[in-house]
């Protein structure tokens, strides 16, 4: 396994990592030359489903509250690093790239022990402490947003690696199929609602107010609720006077963006990058507890989004209504978002990794 990739926890870490692996394969690298390390969350299913070898390690992040589990963390890190080092040494790993999550620290340690070249990819505008530390050891710190460049050593702006189907996105081509997929009226503007891979309760709640204030000929909704919230939201949608479709999780994200005229979402790093890639205007409600404001500001300063702090959530129905009634403003915002896209991100990271492996 020449190439090792570490990513864990959420889609924001895992899917960019898979996109880079796919780009390596596009360069002619066999899949059996690539190995992933991760924990027991979504990566344990998503990585094998994408066709790559997955080596699980037992590791978790630091608990925010006082917890006995924090006492076991140093031992877990040591054992995870040992497992990774053994795998890397046995397979002749030359390059390790970490994409964040609780697995990145042990992977960086293992890369040093295996004498492999270490790279880091930071998806967010504001890097976390772990990645700031790892950047001191990394050959290059790839970043998605300019704001992260001053916080990481050896930084290079590349954008967030996205899956092939999003890099090839064509709204005009996909739109009829997307409208049919969600059983949407052809002549009504559509609000797409995206709370993230685990849903976002505050976003889900405000959608009900938007639906209550809308007429059936003014607005339809496609709502990715997150699996934990789907049943509750679906029951509310069934009583609505407008077309309000709910989906717990969407594998075919191009269909979601193709169906939407405007998106209401949190401001996860990959979500912001997908909005840019698909040239989709948005109203963003950043999750401030994890520092999403910087991600949202990038799109807003470029003209592609309206940002509403969670403390001002009551503004959202008004902002959405105004935008849904103004197709020209949506068109301008969409074009501004599209100007910020970086479709080459996965290819750039893969090219640097391949060059390091050959060096």
The radius of gyration computed from the CA coordinates of the chain, to the nearest angstrom, equals 21
Q: What is the pTM of this model?
A: 0.93
For domain 166-338, give its CATH number from 3.60.150.10, 3.40.50.2000, 3.40.50.200, 3.40.50.10420.
3.40.50.2000
pLDDT for 228 equals: 84
Where are the alpha helices (H) located in 199-268, listed in sequence order?
Answer: 201-213, 230-238, 253-259
What pLDDT score was predicted for residue 74? 58
Question: CA 58, CA 41: separation in Å to the nearest integer?
Answer: 11
Beta bridge partners of 118: 96
Which two three-digit tokens encode residue 253?
């994200």
Residue 182 main-chain phi, psi, to 5 deg: -100, 5
Would you say the CATH fold of 166-338 matches that of 3-162+343-358? yes
Sheet holding 282-284, edge to edge: 244-247, 220-224, 190-194, 262-265, 282-284, 305-307
Q: Which two tokens stand for residue 172?
A: 């005009």
Residue that is written with structure tokens 């890190």 in the block: 77
Residues 18-54 as b or e (16 or more Cβ within 10 Å = b): bbbbbbbbeeebeeebbbbbbbebbbbebbeebebbb
Q: Are 144 and 123 in contact (CB under 8 A)?
A: yes
Using CA atoms, how far apart are residues 39 and 99, in angstroms rounded to an integer?
Answer: 13
Q: For tokens 């939201």, what's the residue?
A: 233
318: left (phi over 0), alpha (psi -120 to 50) or beta: alpha
Give the right CATH number for 3-162+343-358 from 1.10.3720.10, 3.40.50.2000, 3.40.50.2300, 3.90.660.10: 3.40.50.2000
List pLDDT tens digits, range 274-291.
999 999 999 999 998 888
Alpha helices in 38-163 (DSSP H): 43-49, 73-91, 104-113, 129-134
Give the model confidence (pLDDT) of 4-20 as tens digits. Answer: 999 998 888 999 999 99
The Cα 11–Cα 41 span in angstroms is 10
pLDDT at 200: 76
Q: What is the pLDDT of residue 60?
A: 54
The pLDDT assigned to 302 comes to 96
pLDDT of residue 66: 47
Cα maximum dimension of the chain: 63
Alpha helices in the chain (DSSP H): 11-26, 43-49, 73-91, 104-113, 129-134, 164-167, 171-181, 201-213, 230-238, 253-259, 269-277, 293-301, 316-324, 327-338, 345-358
Please choose, from the candidates 127, 102, 156, the residue with its C-alpha nearest in 3D space to the C-alpha of residue 295. Answer: 127
Low-confidence ranges of the chain (pLDDT < 70): 1, 60-77, 195-199
For residue range 178-199, what is the model confidence (pLDDT) as tens digits?
A: 999 999 998 999 999 996 555 5
Indicate the SS3 state at residue 191. strand
Strands, sheet with 53-56, edge to edge from the N-terminal-most edge strand: 53-56, 34-38, 3-6, 95-98, 117-122, 140-143, 155-157
- By the 10 Å C-beta count (0-12 exposed, 13-18 middle, 19+ buried), 56 is classed as middle
Q: What is the domain partition of the chain in residue ranges?
A: 3-162+343-358, 166-338
């Amino acid at each position: 396994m020449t190439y090792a990739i570490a990513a864990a926890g959420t889609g924001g870490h895992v899917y960019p990592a898979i996109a880079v692996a796919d780009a390596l394969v596009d360069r002619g690298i066999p899949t059996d030359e690539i190995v992933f390390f991760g924990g027991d969350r979504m990566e344990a299913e998503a990585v094998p489903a994408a066709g790559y070898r997955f080596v699980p390690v037992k590791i978790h992040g630091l608990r925010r509250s006082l917890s006995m589990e924090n006492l076991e963390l140093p031992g877990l890190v040591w054992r995870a690093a040992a497992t990774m080092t053994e795998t890397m040494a046995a397979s002749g790993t030359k390059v390790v790239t970490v994409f964040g999550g609780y697995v990145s620290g042990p992977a960086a340690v293992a890369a040093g022990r295996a004498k492999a070249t270490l790279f880091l990819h930071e998806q967010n505008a504001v890097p976390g402490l772990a990645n700031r530390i790892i950047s001191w050891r990394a050959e290059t710190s790839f970043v998605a947003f300019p704001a992260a460049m001053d916080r990481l050593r050896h930084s290079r702006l590349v954008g967030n690696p996205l899956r092939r189907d999003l890099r090839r996105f064509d709204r005009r081509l996909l739109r009829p199929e997307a409208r049919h997929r969600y059983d949407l009226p052809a002549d009504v503007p559509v609000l797409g609602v995206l709370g993230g891979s685990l849903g976002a309760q505050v976003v889900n709640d405000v959608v009900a107010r938007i639906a209550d204030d809308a007429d059936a000929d003014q607005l339809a909704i496609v709502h990715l609720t997150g699996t934990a919230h789907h049943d509750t939201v679906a029951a509310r949608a069934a009583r609505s006077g407008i077309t309000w479709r709910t989906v717990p999780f969407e594998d075919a994200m191009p269909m979601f963006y193709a169906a939407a005229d405007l998106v209401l979402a949190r401001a996860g790093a990959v979500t912001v990058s997908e909005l840019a890639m698909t040239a989709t205007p948005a109203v963003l409600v950043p999750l401030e507890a994890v520092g999403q404001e910087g991600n949202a500001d990038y799109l807003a300063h470029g003209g592609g989004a309206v940002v509403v702090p969670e403390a001002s959530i009551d503004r959202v129905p008004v902002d959405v209504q105004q935008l849904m009634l103004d197709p020209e403003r949506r068109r301008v915002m969409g074009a501004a978002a599209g100007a910020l896209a970086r479709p080459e991100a996965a290819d750039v990271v893969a090219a640097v990794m391949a060059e390091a492996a050959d060096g």
